[in-house]
Structure 1
Amino acid sequence: MDSVCRTISELDALVSECRACPRLVAWREQAAREKRAAFRDETYWGRPVPGYGPPDARLLVVGLAPAAHGGNRTGRMFTGDRSGDFLYAAMYRVGLANQPTATHIGDGFELIDARVTAPVHCAPPDNKPLPEERDRCRHWLVTELELLKATVRSIVVLGGFGWQALLPVLAESGWEVPKPRPKFGHGVEYELAPAAADRAPLHLFGSYHPSQQNTFTGRLTPVMLEAVLGAAARAAGLPGCR
C-alpha cells in the first residue's frame, strides 16, 4: 500500500497527479488541448481520473480506463460519455445511485454504497492501454482495495481487460484466487475466500463492458447489466437494492 495514503481522498488526490506513463500523459493532454468539437468551449480535466464513490463502499465496479472525451474531460470516472450514461442509468435503477445521469462534477450525482474505479486511470489511445501501462498503474488499485477492505463485499468487473487486470490485484490484496483462474463471462459469479484475517469473502461478478460496440449491437442490454448489478448488490448485503 502507498504509505502516504491513509484515506480514499488522499489516494484520489495522488492518483490525479500521476505522470508515470509518458505515452498516456501525452495522449490525455493532447486530447485535452485539441478537444472534440462538441466540447470546444469546455476546459478539459486532462489528468488521471481517480475512482468515484464513498470511502466505505460495499460494492466496487471496475472498468477499463477513462474515455478521452468522457472522464478525461469531466474529471470523474464514467462521466460525460455514452458508456457512463448506460452504466449510471443502470446503477440508478437498481438503487446504487441517487439519479440516472452524470454529466459533470457538481451535477449532484452520487453513488450509494458503491464506488467505480479502473485498472488504468489515464485515457489511452484507441481505448487500449499497453500491458506495461496496466502493470504500472496496478499499485493504485491495490491501495484502493486495502482502503476498502473493511467494507467491500462485491466487485463487478466490466469487460475482459478489467477482469484480467483485477485478478492478480486481488491475489496481492489478500484474497485467494483459484487456479486455474476464474474465467470472464457475462453473468459469471465467483466467491473468493479471504487469505488474511482482516478480509471478508468477496463476491466477484463479470459483465460485458457498456461500450457503444456492445450496447449499440444489443450484446449488452440495460436488463442484462441491471441483473448483474442487482445480484452484486444483494451479495454485498445492500438493503433496498433491486
Structure 2
Amino acid sequence: MSLALLDREIAECRACPRLVQWRERVAVEKRAAFRDETYWGRPVPGFGPPDARMLIVGLAPAAHGANRTGRMFTGDRSGDVLYAALHAVGLASQPTATRPGDGLELYGVRITAPVHCAPPENKPTPAERDTCRGWLERELDLLAPTVRSVMVLGGFGWQALLPVLAGAGWTVPRPRPRFGHGASITLHPDRTDREPLAVHGCYHVSQQNTFTGRLTPAMLERVLADTARAAGLSPAGPPISPS
C-alpha cells in the first residue's frame, strides 16, 4: 500500500448513501459562478507529500470548494485563508489554491480530513464520521515513519481524530484532552514503529470564524508555526508560544 494507491481507493468510495447523493447532486446542479466547470463530485483524498512531517486535519470538503476541484481546501474562501497562512510561514509554494495543476506545492505538510465527502450543511453525522474513520487510520499508518505533528482545525476534527490516533498506535490520555485554539498535547506511542506525536488545536478556517475575527491570520500563522517546529520543520513566522 502507498499513499497514492490509498488516495485512489478513497476517491472511489460509496459507503455513505446520504453523502454520495449530496456530493453528486451538487456536482450536477452546481453554483452559478461555476456552471461551466466540471465538478469532481467524489470523495476528496489528502493532499501533500507522502513523507510529510506535519499533518493538517480539517472537517470535510466544501460543496463548491474541494467537491468541485478535487483537492483539499481548494477553490473556496476557507482554503484562501489556509493557503495564504501556509505560504506566509514558508510551508507552501504560493498563497493561492484554485485547482489541481495550479503549481501549488506543500513543504513537509499534508492536508486531510476525517470525512472525505462534502456533507449537507457541512455537517457529517457521527455514523458517517465513523464509516470514514478507516481511511484516516490507514493514512496515519502510511505517514507514521515521518509524521511528528498534527494541527487540527476545529472541535469536530479534534473529536474525530483522537480515537483514530488511539487506534493507530498512540496513547490518548483519559479523560481525553479538550479542544481549544492553541491547545497542544504530546501523544506517546504504544507501538515500537511509532514516534511521539505533537497535536495542536486551531479554530477552523471557516468564514464564520475568519469573517468575525475569531480567527485572524496572525492567530492561524502562530499555530501553524508552532506545529511545524514541533515536526522539525523550519517555518518563517512568530516564535513558539510560551507553554
TM interval, shorter chain, is over 0.9
Q: 2:125 aligns with which of 130, 155, 159?
A: 130
TM-score of the superposition, structure 2-length normalised?
0.97
User: Cα offset for 1:95?
Assistant: 1.1
Count of aligned positions: 237
Q: 2:193 aligns with which of 195, 198, 208?
A: 198
Deviations 1:83-129 (A, max 9, x none): 01100110111111010000011100011100000000000000000
TM-score of the superposition, structure 1-length normalised?
0.97
User: Cα offset for 1:239?
Assistant: 2.8
Q: Please show how residues 168-179 of structure 1 align to structure 2 within 5 Å.
A: 168-179=163-174
Deviations 1:26-79 (A, max 9, x none): 000000000000000000000000000000000000000000000000000000
Q: Which amino acid in the other structure matches residue 185 of structure 2? A: Y
Partners of 1:233 and 1:241 within 8 A in 2: no
Q: Which amino acid in the other structure matches residue 210 of structure 2? A: T
The equivalent of 2:240 in structure 1 is: none
Structure 1: distance between partners of 2:236 and 2:132: 32
Q: Which amino acid in the other structure matches residue 94 of structure 1? A: V
Q: Which amino acid in the other structure matches residue 73 of structure 1? A: R
Structure 2: distance between partners of 1:241 and 1:119: 28
Q: Say whether 1:9 aligns with 2:9.
A: no
Q: Please show how residues 1-242 of structure 1 align to structure 2 within 5 Å.
A: 6-242=1-237
Partners of 2:225 and 2:235 within 8 A in 1: no
Alpha-carbon RMSD: 0.6
Partners of 1:234 and 1:241 within 8 A in 2: no
Identity %: 71
SS in 1 for 2:177: coil
Q: Which amino acid in the other structure matches residue 133 of structure 1? A: E
SS in 1 for 2:135: helix
Structure 2: distance between partners of 1:138 and 1:109: 27
User: Cα offset for 1:240?
Assistant: 4.5
User: Cα offset for 1:241?
Assistant: 4.1
SS in 2 for 1:217: coil
Structure 1: distance between partners of 2:235 and 2:213: 28
SS in 2 for 1:69: coil
Q: Which amino acid in the other structure matches residue 149 of structure 2? A: S
Deviations 1:159-205 (A, max 9, x none): 00000000000000000100010100000110001111111100000
**Runs ≥4 residues deviating over 2 A:** 239-242
Q: Which amino acid in the other structure matches residue 181 of structure 1? A: R
SS in 2 for 1:218: coil
SS in 1 for 2:209: helix
Q: Which amino acid in the other structure matches residue 120 of structure 2? A: P
Structure 1: distance between partners of 2:86 and 2:148: 17
SS in 2 for 1:193: strand
Structure 2: distance between partners of 1:69 and 1:218: 23
